Structure 1
């Protein structure tokens, strides 16, 4: 599958998205370990000098991974097309996956993991996923929590598996001849994993901190084909809309408990969440949690008001054109339509769906999702 959009700005972006190749499709930390080696250890012939060659030609080549897929991104000026594609093929075919490179990556990743122990938002978010996705591959962070069980053979095996995965290629800018690239792949049909978040006991970690870091989530089983735009409206009003949203008004404006407080939809192929976070003073922790619970319960029980719907429509319809201004934004929308199996040209139709939505439709949607009330909290605070 290739997604293409032409522009005449003289530069091209090419992304290969390997499906079923995120962290949930490998042993803990292995997918991230491979991405780190591809980003820092170069090729068998050039080692780290490979990246100097890229820099000299102003070519950017990066590998990233999330829970669901691994992405290889290439950006270059059009006159560097031949060189850029050559570098891409060189890295894909001859990555430097030897023992020395492995040990260097292991040290560097361990240092990153150690640094994350000082990131309190990260700790709260990781602990939250550990609980709501307990005993599943979705429970551990993409980077993993240690490298003890990662071996070079596991990394090599995962690298080899990429060439058998289904893929989506995103080509923006110049229409490229990708026959040499696609010839590397022999995709096989794979089923995707799905995890349902489960209500769990709240998690508290005590540290010497000056404020509390509060993350929370619940399952949000919205139907992508029929309810995505309704979820966008509802959650915008609840907490995704910043100032004017219920979360911000109750937590910051009325009580001054936090500088920011948000609730968002996190809709993936492998899970669906109502997700939120805030930071507050230690003494306001319990009250903030109570307010969030009451707010979401009231949201479910009573829905939204006509005034809230009007304001949400005005913002969403007015701001949507800004989300389609750049080539990258348009390509991302096309990718999401395919990856999430949305109706064809869904995003072209979404504005009309939002514009024509009634108060009754939104409130009926909210009333169909009592699962959003089953919130789990993860807190880093001071004892």
Structure 2
């Protein structure tokens, strides 16, 4: 059955529940998604949201990390917490027969997380080790540097995992304060699917949600990319040049023209072999093994970005080629053959994007979260099918803001 949205009423709150029944396997998967609760809420403590999610993976205070993990493993129950830029997610998965126990342990975790100094010391040690290793991951370094340029003096300029200094500065009080503010029912969207009845799961979840603090739903701030192109070059001991680039993209998540952006950027840089950037940079000039570009449209920000790796001596040529390809793209648009091939791929590959229950639930959640119809993907595919070359090229020429390219480059 197709996914649908219903609600759980708790006092004066109506908690959305995105649900899809799937009886093909005796499994149940559930996510508690807390809005406006991701790394965008870190303030001056970069990495706070992710570190708080790691703390939710340390079991309950009563059982501790090891015994809680052993209890879950004995029943093949999975509970984990993750964060994005805008959301904090706690996921629960189990076989159908163990879902009641899964909810029991989930309820225990929400009510009594292991917020101890020992647990914090452990997760900070793991995070600091990962960050130390990341200093030699030059894709990671260049990507973070690009965001620091594009979103200067905003929360989006900071790496979501934090820095070594910012993670060291986070204490238990920060974690408790973050969780108290953000793991609340007023921010909650439930996503659940599998071999379970909707009314049954709603009844069980209401018992859990009613114990949660209601808290307050804050307004999600939006941040614009700087309209002044900049360039930062970082010198490292590397045998390659890592070239990351980005620019503003004037679009909101609910814009009717998003399907045109999807088609345009597929032709420009998302489509792999055959895309403009790949053809010019790899096939014609042999400057890089791959080159990629995409449009990122979120509630908190929208921007165009891409990347490639090249030989150090080819760095300037590669950067110049990127600029020229994008300039030509905006000026002249695409050909009928490019549009036809892109339509074939996007329409033909659609079944691969909805093969699994998790894919379908994730898509439905994104539509709901962005304020779009639940069947927006089908609506979008029909629009792509009917899109004319003149419509697409008119749209491309209207988005000259992508020419204001900033670069973050790691080189020798």
TM-score (norm 1): 0.96
2:19 is the counterpart of 1:4 = yes
RMSD of the alignment, in Å? 1.3
From 237, 254, 264, give the equivalent of 1:208. 237
* Residues 64 and 70 in structure 1, CA contact (< 8 A), matched pair in contact too: yes
* Residues 20 and 165 in structure 1, CA contact (< 8 A), matched pair in contact too: no
From 22, 36, 43, give the equivalent of 2:38. 22
- Could you report, residue by residue, the CA deviation over 1:183-224 in whole angstroms, capped at 9, with x for unpaired residues? 125253321111111134211111111111111111111243
* Residues 185 and 209 in structure 2, CA contact (< 8 A), matched pair in contact too: no
* Residues 33 and 88 in structure 2, CA contact (< 8 A), matched pair in contact too: yes
Matches within 5 A, 1:133-148: 133-146=151-164, 147-148=167-168
From 187, 196, 199, give the equivalent of 1:166. 187
Shift of 1:42: 1.6
* Residues 225 and 342 in structure 1, CA contact (< 8 A), matched pair in contact too: no
Shift of 1:143: 1.0
Match of 1:58 in 2: 76
Q: Which structure 1 residue ranges, 5 or more long, are not aligned?
A: none
SS of 2:56's partner is helix
Matches within 5 A, 1:71-110: 71-110=89-128
Alpha-carbon distance between aligned partners in 2 of 1:117 and 1:197, rounded to the nearest angstrom: 25
2:258 is the counterpart of 1:228 = yes
* Residues 29 and 193 in structure 2, CA contact (< 8 A), matched pair in contact too: yes
Matches within 5 A, 1:326-345: 326-345=356-375
Match of 1:45 in 2: 62
Alpha-carbon distance between aligned partners in 2 of 1:112 and 1:164, rounded to the nearest angstrom: 32
- Could you report, residue by residue, the CA deviation over 1:66-122 in whole angstroms, capped at 9, with x for unpaired residues? 211111111110000111001111111111111222222222221111111011100
Match of 1:284 in 2: 314
Alpha-carbon distance between aligned partners in 1 of 2:217 and 2:126, rounded to the nearest angstrom: 35
Alpha-carbon distance between aligned partners in 1 of 2:296 and 2:255, rounded to the nearest angstrom: 16
* Residues 364 and 374 in structure 2, CA contact (< 8 A), matched pair in contact too: no
Alpha-carbon distance between aligned partners in 2 of 1:364 and 1:189, rounded to the nearest angstrom: 39
Q: Which structure 2 residue ranges, 5 or more long, are not aligned?
A: 1-15
TM-score (norm 2): 0.90
Alpha-carbon distance between aligned partners in 2 of 1:187 and 1:335, rounded to the nearest angstrom: 22
From 271, 285, 289, give the equivalent of 1:259. 289
Alpha-carbon distance between aligned partners in 2 of 1:149 and 1:137, rounded to the nearest angstrom: 17
Q: How many residues align?
A: 381
Alpha-carbon distance between aligned partners in 1 of 2:205 and 2:243, rounded to the nearest angstrom: 46
- Could you report, residue by residue, the CA deviation over 1:115-154 in whole angstroms, capped at 9, with x for unpaired residues? 1101110000011111111111111011111323312111
SS of 1:178's partner is helix
Alpha-carbon distance between aligned partners in 2 of 1:127 and 1:14, rounded to the nearest angstrom: 35
Match of 1:273 in 2: 303
Match of 2:169 in 1: 149
